[in-house]
Amino acid sequence: MTSRETESSWHNALSSATIHRIAFEGATVRSSLLTARLSNLILLASLLPLTGSAQQPAAPAPSLQDILVHLQENMWDYLANIPNFFCDEHVVSNLQQEGRRDIHTTTESVFRLVRSKAIGEAHTFTESREVKTINKKAAKGDQIHGPAVFSGGFSTAAGVVSLEMSRCYDYTLQAPGLLNKTPAIIIDYAINPDMLTDNSCPGPEKASGRAWIDPVTFHPLRVEMAVPSHKDNNGERVYWTWSVDFAPVTFDNKQFWMPATITSKAVANNASGVWSFTANYSNYHRLTVNSRIITDVGDNPPAPPQ
């Protein structure tokens, strides 16, 4: 069996799961979102002298609905305000096949994300890259050729767990836990079986996963998903898992939570191969374009006639 390139395209799994606030690509909001707010607790002090220090009661833990509202607001903010940017991308891609030599590719690129709409308008994003080296050899081009490829992590991964996607996924709030020794809200999710054929939800493949949420900012720390019988670009069925780890990045004094590491693994159901993909992103910068007009000044000679 010859090696083949697979593209575990994010858009195949979530092609119709676009998060929108008002209208995204012609789709209009079908229902208004009720934002739950926790009322302020006011502690009234007694007029009598206190013999001991009063202890303010701990704030109640946020409900699942509260968390989903915060996540949705953060997602809207990201979609509306993230600027065009570029960053360093380090990708390691592997293919393992029994009885054959492993294929290993390391690619260094400059990754870019460009909005097709102005900040504040409905989003569409274009991901592109400028490949610098492949296996430490100079290279040119704008495509990573595998053997495994993952795309879409910057545009939709953070929105898998959100208020709007609650019509497509069943969410379960777990006990608080840790992610890399960092406190986190944990939410498990699975696609609602009744929505598998709904064109506005991911599908028709069954999927489930887990999200770790920062309890202070309500930004995702990590989102992961498993698709037991994903159909890849070659028509083969694979057990596909992916995850995105996020970290704060600042553009113009405004903080966004951006992918730091993306991993993807596909194991062929017929045991014909294992494809893996790991990408690390760093050194984020806002992408700006400067232009200037140079006029004829001084003793510059006139342009020759055409």
Closest residue by Cα to residue 289 from 114, 81, 89: 114
d(Cα 91, Cα 134) in Å, to the nearest integer?
A: 10
State how beta strands 208-213 and 274-286 pair.
Answer: unpaired
pLDDT in tens, 243-287: 999 999 999 999 999 999 999 999 999 989 999 999 999 999 998
What's the pLDDT at 233? 80
Tokens representing 39 are 């009322």
What's the pLDDT at 11? 38
Per-residue pLDDT of the chain (306 residues; tens, 9 = 90+): 434 444 444 434 343 333 333 232 333 333 333 333 323 322 222 233 434 445 667 678 899 999 999 999 999 999 889 999 999 999 999 999 988 899 999 999 999 999 876 665 666 788 888 999 999 999 877 777 777 777 778 878 889 999 999 999 999 999 999 999 999 999 999 999 999 889 889 878 999 999 999 999 999 999 999 999 998 888 889 999 999 999 999 999 999 999 999 999 999 999 899 999 999 999 999 988 654 555 554 555 555 555
